[in-house]
Amino acid sequence: MPLNISPARIWRERTYRYRLVAKRCKKCGRIIYPPRPACPACGSRELEDIELPRTGVVETYTIIYTVMDGFRDKAPLPIAIVRLDNGAKVLAPLTDIDPEEIRTGMRVEAVLRRIKRDGEHGLIAYGVAFRPALYEQRKQ
């Protein structure tokens, strides 16, 4: 049966996805996420791995009603650009929140969630999602 989620693709990207590992340009300091072979800003190939902070704020967001194949069980699906505490931007779903409660600027934290399943028999795609910061409240 045809696979829509390929084992190799899931495996290749897992560290970058689950652990928010990005690249940092040694030349200009730009943080690159998702990672690329060269810096999009200055073109340098001198890059190093860095693990991004897991907390940040919602820079902007949308609530997707017209979802694509495989996402009906997630509709309405909130997607945000999150600006992490070190300035890097990440695109990810927002979770554990009602659409009406989402606000630009709210503090969020990364969690590991189930993104989609390749039918009944295929692989499960996991990834990062952001939810209203819980851990930080606790530390207050």
Contact with another protein (CB under 8 A) among 1, 37, 48, 72: 72
Closest distance to another protein from the beta carbon of 77 (Å): 5
Please state the closest distance from residue 13 (CB atom) to another protein, in A: 5
Check residue 13 for interaction with another protein (CB under 8 A). Answer: yes
Write the CA distances from 56 to 26, 81, 117, 136, integer angstroms.
Answer: 23, 10, 28, 11
State which of residues 3, 28, 41, 42 lies at the interface with another protein (CB under 8 A).
41
Q: Which of 3, 14, 29, 86 binds another protein (CB under 8 A)?
A: 14
Cβ 51 vs Cβ 20: under 8 Å: yes
**Cβ atoms within 10 Å, residue 58:** 20
| Residue-wise DSSP of 18-74 | HT-EEEEETTT--EESS--SS-TTT----EEEEEPPSEEEEEEEEEESS--TT-GGG
Total number of residues shown for the chain = 140
Interaction of residue 37 with another protein, rule CB under 8 A: no
DSSP annotation of 98 reads -
Q: Is 81 in the site for another protein (CB under 8 A)?
A: yes
Chain-centroid distance, C-alpha 118 = 19
Binding status of residue 71 toward another protein by CB under 8 A: yes
- Contact string (CB under 8 A) for another protein, positions 102-131, x = contact: --x------xxxxxx--xx---xxxx-x--
Residue ranges that bind another protein, judged by CB under 8 A: 9, 13-15, 17-19, 32-34, 36, 40-41, 59-74, 77, 79-81, 88-93, 95-96, 98-99, 104, 111-116, 119-120, 124-127, 129, 134-135, 137-139
